[in-house]
Amino acid sequence: MLKDIFMGLSQNQFLNNAAKKYGLKLGAQNVVAGTNIEETIQSIKELNAHGISCTVDNLGEFVYKKEEAIEAKEQILKVIEAIHDNNVDAHISLKPTQLGLDIDYEFCLNNLEEIVAKAATYDIFVNIDMEDHSHLQPSFDILDSLSETYDNVGTVIQAYFYRAQDDIKKYKNYRLRIVKGAYKEPEEYAYQDKKDIDTNFIKLIEYHLLNGKFTSIATHDHRIINHVKKFVKKNNIPNDKFEFQMLYGFRKDMQLELAKEGYNFCTYVPFGKDWYGYFMRRLAERPQNLNLVVKQVFNKKTNTMIGLAAGAFVLGRLSKKKKRK
């Protein structure tokens, strides 16, 4: 029920627009690394000082116009220049839908190629983030096309998909981020039970650690992290073959601890005013995340906003059920 609420909220364009307008007043600066490139670079420098690298995501939702996709592309190109000019340890994460996948495939591919080409001139890696099942295969197709020319591109494997085992074998020679998955997917495409997802998550991690190019293990789950620590030690896997990843603002103490222990660590650094949908999906993915950040992120106004929004969502669903009856 709680997951459904957060997923519903993430797809609410009205609330997304309200969050963009009032985000800073609601404490959004604790959820994102900045609302502009300058603030974000400063946040990256602070993380780098603790031995933590970063992957930067220019947040954006509901992109259905070419001018919006072009604006997002130009912003990402500026981020690449800023990473190079400031000599920070960071790379790029991006979503094909923000660059026009829902508008036109070739248009999106051209936008992505321009980004990957620019990043390649500075030896900056670009990670293609995966989204819901309807965008999955087109995103892999984009990766295949870009890989014919560029080697600075990788992607994400989501453990809740049945096809994940096949995908990770196909793309084992790529740098991959392995995640559990953040969208609400139908049973036709994905595991629904948490135990099944966790089991597949561990299988994927172990396979790529043993057979893959480089593995980014994206989780806040200390049990998974401890399992990986034991696994790499048992199998003599060097630290330069993998990294742990967490989201900016989540489990800060553990991020610093892992970096101090000598593990490669990368923080997923989202920036911009369009933070709302991103954060709701993080809560849907793992509702416990709310407990991890509520004290350090939310003030009373933000709690009120989420409470009212959740209440409105639940009432809306109940109202729809009554109408059906």
Q: Which of 129, 126, 178, 172 is nearest to 150 (CA)?
A: 126
DSSP 273-294: S--HHHHHHHHHH-TTHHHHHH
Distances (CA, A) of 148 to 65, 124, 185: 28, 17, 31
Q: Which residues are catalytic?
A: 129, 177
- Give strand ranges (E) for the chain: 53-58, 90-94, 126-128, 153-158, 175-179, 214-218, 242-247, 265-271
Question: Percent helix, strand, coil in the chain (nearest 5)?
Answer: 60, 15, 30
Q: How many residues in total does the chain contain?
A: 325
194 phi and psi, to 5 degrees?
-60, -40
Rounded-to-integer distance, Cα 248 and Cα 270, Å? 7
Q: Which of 15, 4, 8, 24 is nearest to 299 (CA)?
A: 24
Q: Radius of gyration of the chain from Cα atoms?
A: 19
Q: Which residues pair with 190 in a beta bridge?
A: 161
Q: Which residues pair with 38 in a beta bridge?
A: none
Rounded-to-integer distance, Cα 185 and Cα 3, Å? 12
**One-letter amino acid for residue 31 of the chain:** V
